[in-house]
Amino acid sequence: MGLNKKSVDDINVKGQKVLVRCDFNVPLKEGKITDENRLVAALPTIKKLVADGGKIILCSHLGKPKGEPKPELSLAPVAVRLSELLGQEVKFVASPVVVDDTVKAAVDAMNDGEIVLLENTRYRAEETKNGEAFSKDLASLADVFVNDAFGTAHRAHCSNVGVTEFIDTCVVGYLMQKEIDFLGKAVETPVRPFVAILGGAKVADKLNVISNLLEKCDTLIIGGGMAYTFLKAKGLEVGASLVDDTKLDYCKEMIAKAETLGKKLLLPVDTAIAKSFPNPIDAEIPAEYVDCDAIPADVLGLDIGPKTAEIYAEAAKTAKTVVWNGPMGVFENPVLAKGTIAVAKALAETDATTIIGGGDSAAAVNQLGFGDKMSHISTGGGASLEFLEGKELPGVAAANDK
């Protein structure tokens, strides 16, 4: 995977029109932005391009309008909040087709250092199909393209891949650069010992990740719901725990693969059990723990136990690089969050490079208050998973190489 990409630091955009693909896919409630992390994360790239005297044209998708204008998914509120965060006007150019003559006129009238924001790119049906007409429309606005949307990097859409065929200078922004530096280098050239921690509910979601990381890491730690399929594959009774019976052979193969490669594969030795899944998810339940070779037939495992938490924390503390994707249990429940908290705490206390691979693990680390103690928290769930699988991401590949 070519990870040496040109970035905004390698170009001079003075007087040029710069199209920037950002990730402004923020949660909205009654027209108000409820979490603006993604807006804040985009500011360094935007400020750099403004300071260099470019004419900045921002674009992003929001939600799933499925190719038609949906007023509740307009980026208008983003322009308002971005203006406040940047301390300068971000002019929203509304068009149901994203690019039309009014938009072109607005862009032509821009002065250096000014910013406009286009409407939701997914208002156009071609966006998700990478259709040429929309890619050309977007490219017609700009001299330079900057991709700073890692969350969409695993998709080949008009606004992150198609457009690069019609603009010569295509580089990555600071946010993309950081993802490539941390995630890419962790997988390609990690400082060892390299420990990977995988959790989450389903083995099926992580098949390629498990296999790829076994080849790259020194120790692979398995927790979360998918651990019970591994335990069953080892011949243990897992009661009513979540199990994917179609993946038992795969788990056996992975256990054998770890042995062949001389890698440590750590599985839980004890588990939190309950008669049923908590309903609602954060409902008070009694904490009971049993060893994994003594799980009663009528209960289900919902978190790693304290012995396992200690083993996993110790393993994380010996590492120089740690990648973590997926919680250790039902972290939304205070009783069943203990395993995830123990791992997060261990990562917060280590000097290792700690990389959190988006999605639920990022949410867990932030909710538990350990976010600022991690070296890097990925902004992309699906994209970071595909990166860890060793796949080439179209959005990264489309940028110019150094």
Q: Give the pairing of strands 270-274 and 288-291.
A: antiparallel
Out of 118, 145, 175, a domain closes at: 175
**pLDDT tens column, 98-112:** 999 999 999 999 999
Count of C-beta atoms within a 10 Å radius of residue 109: 11
CB 317 within 8 A of CB 349: yes
Q: Same domain, yes or no, for 103 and 171?
A: yes
| Same domain? 235 vs 340 | yes
The verdict on whether residue 301 carries a ligand-binding annotation is yes
328 lies in the same domain as 359: yes
In a shared domain, residues 164 and 211: no
Adjacency order of strands within the sheet including 353-356 = 264-266, 219-222, 194-198, 321-325, 353-356, 376-377
Do 149 and 213 belong together in one domain?
no
Is 23 labeled as ligand-binding? Answer: yes
Claim to verify: residue 139 and residue 248 sit in the same structural domain: no
Residues 48 and 168 in one domain: yes
Residue 202 lies in a domain: yes
Range of the domain at 21: 8-175
Task: Determine the Cα–Cα distance for residues 64 and 81; give it in Å rounded to an integer.
Answer: 21
3 found inside a domain = no
Which residues are known to be catalytic? 38, 202, 359, 382
Give the pLDDT confidence of 62-77 residue by residue, as tens digits.
Answer: 999 999 999 999 999 9
257: number of Cβ within 10 Å: 16
Asked if residue 313 and residue 383 are part of one domain, the reply reads yes
Q: Sorting pLDDT into bands at 50, 70 and 90, what band is 287?
A: confident
Residue 63 maps to a domain = yes
What percent of the chain stands above pLDDT 70? 100
Classify residue 396: in a domain, yes or no.
no
Question: What's the burial of 39, exposed, middle or buried (CB within 10 Å: 0-12/13-18/19+)?
Answer: buried
Here the CATH number for the domain that contains residue 250 is 3.40.50.1260
3-class SS string, 122-145: HHCCCHHHCCHHHHHHHHCCCCEE
pLDDT of residue 302: 97
**Residue 287 covered by a domain:** yes
Rounded to a whole number, what is the distance in angstroms from the first to the last CA of the chain?
Answer: 14
Kindly state whether residues 221 and 361 are assigned to the same domain.
Answer: yes
Question: Is residue 25 a known part of a binding site?
Answer: yes
Please state the pTM of the whole predicted model.
0.89
359 is in an annotated binding site: yes
Can you give the pLDDT at residue 2? 64
CB 360 within 8 A of CB 330: no
Whether residue 149 is contained in a domain is answered as yes
Asked if residue 251 belongs to a domain, the reply is yes
Please check whether residues 140 and 284 belong to one and the same domain: no
Q: Which of 156, 175, 194 is the last residue of a domain?
A: 175
Q: Cite the DSSP H helix spans in 163-285.
A: 174-179, 185-188, 207-216, 227-233, 248-261
pLDDT tens by residue, 324-360? 999 999 999 999 999 999 999 999 999 999 999 877 8
Count up the domains in the chain and report the number.
2
**Mean predicted confidence (pLDDT) in 106-119:** 98
Mean pLDDT of 393-397: 93
Cβ proximity of 238 and 261 under 8 Å:
no
313 in the same domain as 188:
yes
Q: 136-194, pLDDT tens digit by residue?
A: 999 999 999 999 999 899 999 999 999 999 999 999 999 999 999 998 888 889 999 99
Q: Of 175, 202, 218, which residue is a domain's last? A: 175
* Residue 67 sits in the same domain as residue 155: yes
For residue 343, how many other CB atoms are within 10 A of its CB?
Answer: 29
